[in-house]
Amino acid sequence: MKNLKLRNRLLKLLITGNIIIIISTTVGMIKTKGNEKDNGKYPYIQEPEIIYSSNDNIDTTREYPDAETYYPEVPADYTKPQETMNLVNSPESNSNIETQKEQEPSGTITFSENITKLSDNVSLLNEYGYILEGNINDILSYGQTWQITGINGRAVSLTELNIRKGPGTNHDVIATMKNGATIGIYGRTANEWYLVNYNGVVGFVSGDYIQLLDVNYDEANNVIYSVLPKAELAIQPTTKLNVRSGNGTSYDKIGLISGERKYKVIEKCNNGWYHIDYNGKDGFVSGDYVKENYMLFGDFYRFVYLKNDTYLYDGDGYQKRVLSKYEGGKVYSEDETRYLVSVGEDYGYVNKSDCKIIEGKVINIDLNLQQLEIISDGKVILTTDIVSGKDSTPSDQGFFEIKSTKRDTYLVGPGYKTFVNYFGPYNGGEGIHDAKWQHGHFGDVDYYHKGGSHGCINMPPEITPEVFDNVSKGTLVLVHK
């Protein structure tokens, strides 16, 4: 009966246009209350929680010698940059900071560095200063400590609803939200109260009277499936840095990392090195020349590309950055007008009207990251570093398809004839192929400007067979910056 009552309230809000339910493919379950709590009564009639109301710069002159000598653990003249604080969506930031909004509206809570104070009276006490979905974190609220499971998302109130200092009706009320108000969610307690942000007021509300957004509700099984990606610890290189097979300079070099690309941390080693996911392989890098960050992981259910230049927005509608035509986005949820996506290393919202859905398998080639992914049915099934066309003969951007797959052939052009084991043309003479002569430069976001190809996408020889196991005539190819 309680579920029916809530569904009726939700339906009323839908009819009056107060909220939009997000419908999406389902992943990652979060269970709600079971039917054992539904005894045919309406306990909230006696609860004070509910208030009845009708209110509703690339240097192209550089030389690039062999990677064995050019990429030490750190160059001799390298100076480690000072760490800076990310002030985006940080409530304790000084109001004089130019990037600080006058007031943070409610909406999706972002992952920001050095968040230790959620409001003047609520602080986060975990090790990194992050709220991570699925992890237990201690919250100090008005002098009392509570444990929450981190959630990054939004919800809407199903009535006028009190916000309290702690997770229960025995705690003082600090604010009241309106019927149909949108709130940002930090996390959930064991007794299913939620730590929320309502127009800058941080406190707890009962989960009985809110509807989670960016999720899909399975009415038959009374289960909520979260479709938001999870944040996990990652590193970014602060210089060109060798990736090794073990946690020390005595181990073999297996690649290099550079630029703004993030790599998932599998383990922090005792000697200060990091064990990372390097294109699906185990890699190790020195911790002296990386900075910690977080990156978003999770199953997505749709892949889109941009039909035109547009903007990536945060949850409150602020422009985060310009997006270029053909950039690809992994979709985690949607409403009537927007997709929630990750684009490159960024995360936010794009307007549906600016996007086109890609059905089936696609080769997603990011020229900025010098990275190729093969995506199929909401999963990245393969990732590899690449070398693309140099500035004088750049790789064409656009939406293409593989015209054929060839083995043991020659690439012929003005002044060259080169043997390759695999070749998949998709745009005239441009295609994907192995390139043993690019050893040591795959994934280098500086090198390709001067040392890149004639337009083709060069791949490491050791991974090319696996790429072509997943590629055939007609496979879609998206090339973008």
pLDDT digits (tens, 9 = 90+) for 100-111: 333 333 334 444
Report which of residues 259 and 470 the model is more confident about.
470
The pLDDT score that the predictor gives to residue 42 is: 28
Q: What percent of the chain has pLDDT over 70?
A: 69
360-481 maps to which CATH number?
2.40.440.10
230-297 maps to which CATH number?
2.30.30.40
Question: How are beta strands 338-343 and 328-334 bridged, if at all?
Answer: antiparallel
Contact residues for 119 (Cβ-Cβ < 8 A; gap 6+): 91, 197, 200, 201, 202
Q: How confident is the model at residue 453 (pLDDT cuts 50, 70, 90)?
A: very high
pLDDT tens for 373-396 read 999 987 889 999 999 999 999 999
pLDDT at 64 over 60: no
Q: How confident is the model at residue 25 (pLDDT cuts 50, 70, 90)?
A: very low
The pLDDT score that the predictor gives to residue 183 is: 85
Classify residue 358 by its DSSP letter: E
Please list the residues that pair with 478 across neighbouring strands: 364, 399
Q: How confident is the model at residue 134 (pLDDT cuts 50, 70, 90)?
A: low
Q: With left for phi above 0 and alpha for psi between -120 and 50, is residue 9 left, alpha or beta?
A: alpha
pLDDT at 277 over 70: yes
pLDDT at 214 over 70: no
Contact residues for 63 (Cβ-Cβ < 8 A; gap 6+): none
The pLDDT score that the predictor gives to residue 312 is: 92
Question: What is the pTM for the complete model shown?
Answer: 0.55
Please list the residue range(s) of the chain that carry CATH number 2.30.30.40: 230-297, 298-358
Please list the residues that pair with 408 across neighbouring strands: none
pLDDT tens for 342-367 read 888 777 889 999 999 998 999 999 99
pLDDT tens for 221-264 read 544 444 555 567 788 888 888 999 999 999 998 888 877 788 88
The pLDDT score that the predictor gives to residue 103 is: 33
Q: Compute the distance between CA of residue 104 and CA of residue 334 in angstroms, rounded to an integer.
A: 22
pLDDT tens for 138-168 read 899 999 999 988 776 778 888 889 999 999 9
Residue 208 near residue 49 (C-beta atoms within 8 A): yes
CATH code matching the domain that covers 298-358, chosen among 3.30.1540.10, 1.10.10.10, 3.30.70.3270, 2.30.30.40: 2.30.30.40
Please list the residue range(s) of the chain that carry CATH number 2.40.440.10: 360-481
- List the one residue out of 21, 12, 16, 2 whose CA is nearest residue 211: 21
pLDDT at 47 over 60: no
- List the one residue out of 174, 177, 178 whose CA is nearest residue 121: 174
The pLDDT score that the predictor gives to residue 244 is: 94
Report which of residues 422 and 1 the model is more confident about.
422
